[in-house]
Structure 1
Amino acid sequence: MDALTGLGLASSAGLNAWIPLLVLGLLDRYTQFVDLGPNFAWLSNGWVLIIFAVLLALEVVADKVPAIDSVNDVIQTVVRPTSGGIVFGSSMTSDIAGLTLGGQTATVTDPEQFVSSGTWVPIVIGVLLALLVHGVKALTRPVANTVSAGTAAPVLSTAEDGAAVLLSVVAVFLPVLVLLGLVGLAIGAWWLLRRRRRTGPPVYSV
């Protein structure tokens, strides 16, 4: 169950870096459903949550404007995988929805001990998973913009934000449904990539 929770949160981060971070931070701060423990308690700090909220607002706007959304995707190539690593790592060591997951993450005082302990593995998995979802999103968005003359950007972005919220919430409360959500994302990405093969690569005018 902890792996499914991490899977859902990291996939959500691939769509929007800030939503799963906010979901975990807010649930830890204001509810009893999530206890991030001392190593990830900073996610529920008031100032950190405000920063996350501001960055989320900026991305929500930027991701809905054609051309700017592609620039934003380039910037997010670093941010989203980083978020994925954080949320996957935290999910493996936290008490979520009454389930104590994994164990406490060891404080990194000895790099050699950190490597040998395997604590870094969930973080790397989260980074790679978020990077994969982000890559599919970044590839399909120009296709949709080209096919729709840019009108699909706000619609797709809103759908992606909604999917990120849904995946994050499901990952916390109903992790067994995470796989269904990922299947839905895969089907949507496959359909857009198929449209790209039919219409050819996007053509940009100067």
Structure 2
Amino acid sequence: MFEILTGTGLSAAAGLNAFIPMLILGLLDRYTDLVQLPPEWDWLANGWVLLIVGVLLVLEIAADKIPVVDSFNDWIQTVVRPAAGGIVFSSGVSSETVTVSDPDTFFGGTAWVPVVIGIGIAFVVHLVKMMTRPVLNAATVGAAAPVASTAEDTASLSLALAAVLLPLLVVVLLAVVVIALWLLYRRYRRPRRVRSSSGRVLRP
């Protein structure tokens, strides 16, 4: 149960920002006892890998806060985020954490299954984000980009930490993220009222 929630939280976080959950897992495994990555995933805690992921995270955070550039970045991330989702889901469900003491309970002999599940979860979250951002930018003339990006980064960080430390909280955080993104999309997607030649206000 906790394994699934851990993997789900990490892969959903990757759908918002590919590098935050990867960095969280690597840092916690390298510098704390909260996460013990299995041998096949311990490269995530390698110092050079952490440095590269950290640099990529800085670039991602910067690009995602600039109107137009953020949409272009989202197209590139269509490959990166789902791939990261597969990595963190698989490494998450097979790691020993403060809440998971028997990581082999699920997916014991089918290593490819969690990777595929993680890819799917991250892709869905990424797709919602990708659809929402252009609508927000168009409605606010780009002013919403840094605000929305900061909120998404915060949600990604919260999901990643909750996935490791308190998996049950993942359900609540996921619901909040999905509902918030959907409401924003619906609100700003509505066409503005236009005026006819007679001066009357036409409502869609």
- TM-score of the alignment, normalized to the shorter chain, above 0.5: yes
Which residue pairs with 1:40 in the alignment? 41
Which residue pairs with 2:24 in the alignment? 23
State whether structure 2 residue 65 is matched by structure 1 residue 82: no
C-alpha distance after superposition, 1:95-142 (max 9, x if no partner): 011522432999xxxxxxxxxx42211110000000000000000000
Structure 1: gaps of 5 or more residues: 107-116, 201-206
C-alpha distance after superposition, 1:51-89 (max 9, x if no partner): 000000000000000000000000000000000000000
Structure 1 counterpart of 2:183, one-letter code: W
The answer to whether the 8 Å contact 1:92/1:101 transfers is no
Alignment of 1:164-179 (within 5 A): 164-179=156-171
* Runs of 4+ off more than 4 Å: none
Alignment of 1:44-55 (within 5 A): 44-55=45-56
Which residue pairs with 2:141 in the alignment? 149
Aligned equivalents of 2:106 and 2:43: distance in 1? 14
TM-score, reference length from structure 2: 0.89
Structure 2: gaps of 5 or more residues: 193-204
Instruction: Kindly name which structure, 1 or 2, has the bigger radius of gyration based on alpha carbons.
Output: 2
Q: Secondary structure at the match of 1:199?
A: coil
Alignment of 1:127-146 (within 5 A): 127-146=119-138
TM-score, reference length from structure 1: 0.88
Which residue pairs with 1:56 in the alignment? 57
Q: 1:129 to 1:101 in 2, by over 3 A?
A: farther
RMSD: 1.8
Q: Secondary structure at the match of 2:103?
A: coil
Q: 1:104 to 1:94 in 2, by over 3 A?
A: farther
Which residue pairs with 1:71 in the alignment? 72
State whether structure 2 residue 184 is matched by structure 1 residue 184: no
Q: 1:62 to 1:161 in 2, by over 3 A?
A: same
Shift of 1:157: 0.3
Counting matched residue pairs gives 191
Shift of 1:196: 4.2
Identity across aligned pairs (percent)?
53
